[in-house]
Amino acid sequence: MKFRYLLLSAFLLLQSVSLVFASVREVPLDELQPTRSQRQSTLIILKVIDEYHYKKHQLNDEMSKAILDRYLTVLDPNKNFFMQGDYDRFAVVSDRLDDDLKEARLDSAFNIFRVYRQRVDERIDLALKLLEVDYDFTINESYQFDREKSPWATDKRDLDELWRKKVKSDILSLKLKDKPLDEIRSTLEKRYAGIQRRTRQMDSDDVFEIFINPYTLS
């Protein structure tokens, strides 16, 4: 049994460091597909956890919903990218992720990530345009920084407004540090582009890692 625990530890360690060696190139969207080795890894992880975890949790519909919620939280913790319509589409698989895992079917997880990457591209493209707006900081309006417990944006217009306030808030925070506007825009352009670049560099192994962790945590 000790050998099996050591084997599991080594396996999970290899999985955990995969992000460190993530691809430095932009990965085409159509390359984000589950691989045979990832499906085999899924079956190994399920088997070991089922046999040796001290808590005998059932991989059922209830856990399936928890896995989906954790997965979406990892991808979009502040609800800045997905919309309610996206969540409603994802919820269709919320009661079958358990069956997918048992059969090592990872397509739903990868489908969700591909939507996420598209949403990141859309939001960052908008943010870069919003940097060029001349904002009126005398208007009485507010921006909520922590949106973890907020509802998803109802639609694209709602999300656009959220990002308008976010960009305006980011500009203001640097403006209060007496940064010149050109420097502010340059700083934020690099920040936003960095989010997009890192997301585009995530490969198939990264997607698998991001998805399987919510299962092990659940």
CA distance 206 to 211: 9
Compute φ and ψ for 92, nearest 5 degrees: -60, -30
Measured between alpha carbons, how far apart are the two ends of the chain, in Å?
24
As averages over each run of 10 residues, the pLDDT of the chain (218 residues) reads 43 46 78 96 88 64 90 97 97 91 95 98 98 96 93 97 98 97 98 97 96 85
Which is nearest to 169 in space by CA: 137, 125, 121?
A: 137
Phi, psi of 153, rounded to the nearest 5 degrees: -55, 135
3 state DSSP class of 27: coil
Cα–Cα dist 167/128, whole Å: 9
The Cα-based distances of 128 to 63, 79, 144, 196, 200 in angstroms read 39, 19, 20, 11, 17
pLDDT score, position 11:
47
- Both tokens of 102, joined, read 């048992």
- pLDDT of the residue at 52: 62
The identity of residue 105, as a single letter, is: R
- Return the number of other C-beta atoms located less than 10 Å from residue 6's C-beta: 10
Q: How far is CA 92 from CA 87, 89, 108, in A?
A: 9, 6, 10
49-87 b/e (C-beta count within 10 Å ≥ 16 → b): beeeeeeeeebeeebbbbbbbbbbeebbeebbbbbeebb
Please report the pLDDT score of residue 1 as a whole number: 46
Looking up tokens 């656009």, which residue turns up? Answer: 160
**215-to-42, 52, 106, 133, 188 alpha-carbon distances in Å:** 10, 15, 12, 43, 35
Cα(61)–Cα(215) distance, rounded to whole angstroms? Answer: 13
> Facing residues of 153 across strands?
83
Q: Quick one: pLDDT at residue 2?
A: 44
